[in-house]
Amino acid sequence: MKKLIFVTGGVCSSLGKGVTASSIGALMEARGLSVRMMKIDPYLNVDAGTMSPYQHGEVYVTDDGAETDLDLGNYARFTNAPITRANSITTGQVYDEVIRKEREGRYLGRTVQVVPHVTDAIKARVLAVADSPDVDLTIVEIGGTVGDMESIPFLEAARQLIHELGRQNAVSVHVTLVPTVSGGELKTKPTQHSVKELQEVGIQPDALVLRSGEPMDEAIRRKISAFTNIDFEGVISAHDVADTIYEIPLVFHDQGLDVFLLRRMGVESRHADLRAWKDVVRRFREPKRRVRIAVVGKYMELSDSYKSVWEALHHGGIANEAAVDLVRVDSGLLEKEGADLAAVLGDADGILVPGGFGHRGIDGMVAAARYARENGIPYFGICLGMQIMAIEWARNVLGWADANSGEFDRETPHAVVSLLEEQVDVKNYGGTMRLGAGRSALREGTAIRAAYGAAEISERHRHRYEFANAFRPQMEGAGLVIAALTPDGGLVEALEWPAHPWSVGVQFHPEFKSRPVAAHPLFRAFVEAAASRKG
C-alpha cells in the first residue's frame, strides 16, 4: 500500500513546515524509499507567478514551466524527488477545476459543494502523484496554519484520506511552536491548543515537531506527549541549529523521527545512509577559506525573494570547502548621487546580479556590472543579470548612452534587450513568459563551457525579454562574447566579457537546480573564481 505523510502547522506561520517536510523526505530517501513531495497553498491565485517577491518570496520554476511556491525549492534541495506542476496545488487551481466541470455539466445537475466536490478534487490530485508505481511515500505539506479559514477544505481532504486509507498508510506530522517567555521558560500551552484545533477537524497527529530556540529536555517533551495524546517517541525537538539548515535531517534522525514514522507506517527499510549530509555539515562548519560575495539586487528587504540564489551560493561554497559571506546590496543605493561603489563593492571577491522585473534599481545594477568588469572582479549575472551585462556593454563600451531594455525604456533606439515577439500584445500576464526547461548550446573556449564540461545543457527559464539579435553584430564586434545560444542559434543564452578573470551571464535560472550535496556547476565555478581572486 502506498504511504502518505501530511505535514501541517499551528500557532503561527513561517515555522519551517517546508524544511520539516523536506528533511523527512531526505531521511526516507536515505533509507532507500522512493519519495514524492507536494505543497498545498491555500491562496486563490492559480499559481505564484503574478505574486510580488515582497509578499511571497521567490517563484520556484519547474522543468515543465510551473510557477510555484518557494517550498518546492526546499524539496528539490533536500531530496531527489522530481518536481513538476503536479506537485503544487493551490485553492485557485482546485476551484478553477471544479467550476469548469460544473460549467461542462459533469456533475449531472447536482448542487456543487465544498464536500464532496472540492475535497474530492483535492484528494484526486494527491492520489495522482501518490499512486504512481515508482513511488513508496508521498509527503504532502499543507500551507497556512490550522484554524485558517482557507485551509479547511485541505484539512478535510487530509482527514478523509487518513480515514479511508487507514492510519498505518496515512500519517500526520504537526509542526508547532514552543515559545520562550521572560525568564527563559518554555511554554507548552500554544502547542496544546494547536493540537486541539487539529483534533477538532478530525485529525489526531501521529508526531509533533516542536520549534524552539533551544533544545527541549525530556520533561517538556513528556508533558506535551501527555497533553496531546501523542507517543513520546513522536515528540521531536526542532530547535534552531547553529550553522546550516542542512543539519536538520541529522537532528531529526538523532531523535529517531524516521524510525518512529516508519514503524507507524509498518515499513521496513535499510539502515539510513547519511554520509553525504554529514559531509555537507562538516564542510559548512570547517571551511578552509572564506569568500565575500556581493549580491546586487532589487528585493533585499525580504530574504526569501532570492532564496534559491542564497542557497546555491552556499552550495558553491560547500563544494569548494569555503565559507561564503553574503553582502546584500540594494541596487537602488548605487544610483544615488555620490554613491561610492568602491566603498560598497571594493572588498567583494565576487559580484552577482540576480533576476528581477521593473525599472527600479536597474542603473545601480549597471554600475555594479561596470565596476566588476573594469576591476576584474568575478561576475555572475542571472536572467536580468545577463541583460544588465548587455546594457552595460552597450553604454560603456559602444558608447550608446541611451542603451536599455525595452522593458525599461520603450522609446530607446538602442533596445539591446527586447520583448519576445509573441509577447508584444499580451495583456494577461499569468503564465505568459518563456517558462521551464530549455536547451542551450555552449561555445567552446568559454568559462560556461568549462564549468559544465558539456557542449549542451538544459536549464529553466522565466522571462519575457531577450538579448536583441539586431545588435549582435555590433556587440560582438566590440568584443562581447556570445557564450551560448539556443540549439537553433536563434536566442542568446549566455554572455561573457573578453579578457576577464571570470564573467558569465545566463538568461536562465541555474539556482533552481543546485543542491547542497551537488552544487550547480556555475555556482561552484563562480565561488572557485572568487576564492582564486582572493588568493
Over 165-233, what HEC string results? HCCCCEEEEEEEECCECCCCCECCHHHHHHHHHHHHCCCCCCEEEEEECCCCCHHHHHHHHHHHCCCHH
- Give the pLDDT band of residue 224 (cuts 50, 70, 90): very high
Does the pLDDT of residue 429 top 60, yes or no? no
- Give the pLDDT band of residue 210 (cuts 50, 70, 90): very high
Give the span between the Cα atoms of 401 and 391, in whole angstroms: 9
User: What is the percentage of the chain residues whose pLDDT exceeds 70?
Assistant: 96
Give the span between the Cα atoms of 326 and 309, in whole angstroms: 11
Q: Taking residues 102-121, what's their average pLDDT?
A: 92
Residues in the chain: 535
Do 216 and 293 sit in the same domain of this protein?
A: no
Do 507 and 452 sit in the same domain of this protein?
A: yes
pLDDT at 427: 52
Do 76 and 161 sit in the same domain of this protein?
A: yes
pLDDT at 421: 60
170-182: pLDDT as tens digits: 999 999 999 988 7
Summary mean pLDDT of the chain: 93
Last residue of a domain, one of 254, 278, 302: 278
Q: Taking residues 117-137, what's their average pLDDT?
A: 94
Choice between 454 and 183, residue whose per-residue pLDDT is larger:
454
Do 161 and 217 sit in the same domain of this protein?
A: yes
> Are 130 and 2 spatial neighbours (Cβ–Cβ below 8 Å)?
yes
Long-range contact set of residues 513-516: C-beta below 8 Å, sequence gap at least 24: 513/76, 513/459, 513/460, 514/77, 514/308, 514/311, 514/312, 514/315, 514/316, 515/76, 515/77, 515/315, 516/77, 516/246, 516/280, 516/311, 516/314, 516/315, 516/318
pLDDT at 336: 87
Strand partners, 192: none
Query: Dmax of the chain from CA atoms?
Result: 75
Indicate the range of 54-63, 69-78, 290-299, 382-391 predicted with least confidence: 54-63
| CATH at 469 | 3.40.50.880
Q: Taking residues 437-445, what's their average pLDDT?
A: 97
pTM given for the model: 0.94
pLDDT at 432: 59
- Give the pLDDT band of residue 358 (cuts 50, 70, 90): confident
Domain range for 208 is 3-278
Number of domains the chain contains: 2
Q: Taking residues 220-235, what's their average pLDDT?
A: 95
Do 211 and 293 sit in the same domain of this protein?
A: no
Last residue of a domain, one of 221, 248, 278: 278
C-alpha cell at 354: 540576480
Do 67 and 198 sit in the same domain of this protein?
A: yes
User: What is the percentage of the chain residues whose pLDDT exceeds 90?
Assistant: 81
Does the pLDDT of residue 343 top 60, yes or no? yes
Last residue of a domain, one of 278, 310, 326: 278
Do 197 and 297 sit in the same domain of this protein?
A: no
Which stretch of DSSP H or E encloses residue 510? none
Catalytic residues: 383, 509, 511
Does the pLDDT of residue 431 top 60, yes or no? no
- Give the pLDDT band of residue 185 (cuts 50, 70, 90): confident
Q: How far is CA 290 from CA 284, 308, 349, 476, in A?
A: 11, 20, 10, 36
Q: Taking residues 267-273, what's their average pLDDT?
A: 91
470-508: pLDDT as tens digits: 999 999 999 999 999 999 999 999 999 999 999 999 999
Do 100 and 170 sit in the same domain of this protein?
A: yes
Does the pLDDT of residue 422 top 60, yes or no? no
Do 21 and 161 sit in the same domain of this protein?
A: yes
Do 261 and 407 sit in the same domain of this protein?
A: no
pLDDT at 420: 65
Half-sphere exposure of 328 (CA within 13 A, CB side): 12
> Are 74 and 19 spatial neighbours (Cβ–Cβ below 8 Å)?
yes
9-64: pLDDT as tens digits: 988 888 899 999 999 999 999 999 999 999 999 989 888 877 777 676 789 999 99
Highest mean pLDDT among 48-52, 91-95, 180-184, 215-219: 91-95
Do 507 and 526 sit in the same domain of this protein?
A: yes
Which stretch of DSSP H or E encloses residue 140? strand 137-142
| CATH at 209 | 3.40.50.300
pLDDT at 302: 74
User: CA gyration radius for the chain?
Assistant: 25
pLDDT at 531: 96
Does the pLDDT of residue 112 top 60, yes or no? yes
Do 8 and 141 sit in the same domain of this protein?
A: yes
